[in-house]
Each structure stands twice: as structure tokens, then as C-alpha cells.
């Protein structure tokens, strides 16, 4: 039976949960996730977790935060002056906003505190610092093609 190896393109159904059991993402009701194993398209723990699986196999993997989205970084939490927000925007804790870094790149931030003069924004990935659990089912493997030149 063919086993997943680096370079294969695979299709996998997944159900991602936090250690509390809360679901944060799932492919249920959608097409399976397709990616090239070992290419960095998914977090390292997910990449490593699918290695050697066979089509039809189901398994549960536990990914420590260092193999997922890394630790929360305090330098990614910043105070932003309220005067820099649009006048019609009333920031509230938990609100997700998109910011621009001045070089055309956009990134997601979350409002974590609202003070008198500033709003505290967290630019960490929402899953940073969290250990993750995935229930996996491998549904397909497409081996990396080898082109032989004459």
C-alpha cells in the first residue's frame, strides 16, 4: 500500500480542535484539503502528522504550539492611537481588523483592550500559543511526478 511521503500531493479531511475540545476548523461539508507534503503549505506538525498514512486511514494527531503557530509574541501586541482609526469605527474587544503595514501588505489584528487614548491590538495568529489536535482521514495521494529527460 502506498504511504504518504514528502513531495506527494495529498487530499485529507480534517477536524481541528483546541485542547478544550472546541473546534476551530474543519473540512466537513467541503472538499478535502489538498497540499504538497513537506512544501511548507501547512504547519509543520500537520505536515509531519500525515507522513506514512495510507488512503482510507484515519488517525488523531496532537501538535504542540511550537510545531503549529508558535508562541504568542509580546512584540506583536501594540498600542495604536485612537486618532488613527476612522471616525465611524468604534473598536470593541474581540473585534477583528485588517491593517496595512505601509508597504502594501495587509494583516489581521484583534482588538484586545480599549483605553482612553489608544487601542491595544494583537497581531499574533489567533492560534499562536495553543496546542492543537486534528482528526485526519486521508482520501487521496498523488505521487510527485518524475520527468525523465532523454
Give the chain's domains with CATH numbers.
Answer: 9-70+127-142 (3.10.50.40), 74-122 (2.40.10.330)
> Residue 52: left (phi > 0), alpha (psi -120 to 50), or beta?
left
Categorize the per-residue pLDDT at 127 as very low, low, confident or very high, splitting at 50, 70 and 90: very high
Question: Does position 1 have pLDDT exceeding 90, yes or no?
Answer: no
- Mean pLDDT (the chain, rounded): 93
Instruction: Please check the confidence at residue 146 and state whether its pLDDT lies above 80.
Output: no
**What order do you get walking across the sheet with 106-114 strand by strand?**
77-81, 118-122, 106-114, 96-100
Q: How far apart are CA 95 and CA 9, in angstroms?
A: 36
Mean pLDDT of 35-62: 97
- Worst-scoring range by mean pLDDT, 29-33, 66-70, 101-105? 101-105
CA-CA-CA-CA torsion sign (81, 87, 92, 94): negative
- pLDDT for 100: 84
For the ranges 23-27, 101-105, 142-146, which has the lowest average pLDDT?
A: 142-146
pLDDT of residue 148 exceeding 70: no
Place of cell 470593541: 92
Sequence length of the chain is: 150
Query: Residue 149 pLDDT more than 70?
Result: no
CA distance 111 to 131: 22
Say whether 80 sits in a helix, a strand or coil. strand
What number is the average pLDDT over the span 49-60?
Answer: 97
b/e 101-120 (16+ beta carbons within 10 angstroms → b): eeeeeeeebbbeeeeeeebb
- When pLDDT is cut at 50, 70 and 90, the band that residue 102 belongs to is confident
Q: What is the mean pLDDT of residues 31-58?
A: 97
Strands, E assignment, 37-142: 58-63, 77-81, 96-100, 106-114, 118-122, 132-142
Amino acid at each position: 500500500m502506498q504511504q504518504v511521503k514528502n513531495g506527494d500531493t495529498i487530499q485529507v479531511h480534517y477536524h481541528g480542535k483546541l485542547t478544550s475540545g472546541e473546534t476551530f476548523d474543519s473540512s466537513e461539508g467541503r472538499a478535502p484539503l489538498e497540499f504538497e507534503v513537506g512544501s511548507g503549505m501547512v504547519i509543520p506538525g500537520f505536515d509531519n502528522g500525515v507522513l506514512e498514512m495510507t488512503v482510507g486511514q484515519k488517525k488523531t494527531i496532537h501538535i504542540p504550539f511550537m510545531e503549529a503557530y508558535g508562541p504568542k509574541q509580546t512584540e506583536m501586541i501594540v498600542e495604536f492611537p485612537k486618532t488613527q482609526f476612522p471616525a465611524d469605527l468604534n473598536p470593541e474587544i474581540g473585534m477583528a481588523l485588517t491593517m496595512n503595514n505601509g508597504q502594501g501588505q495587509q494583516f489581521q489584528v484583534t482588538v484586545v483592550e480599549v483605553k482612553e487614548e489608544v487601542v491595544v491590538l494583537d497581531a499574533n495568529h489567533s492560534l499562536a500559543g495553543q496546542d492543537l489536535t486534528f482528526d485526519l482521514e486521508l482520501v487521496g495521494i498523488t505521487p510527485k511526478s518524475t520527468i525523465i529527460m532523454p
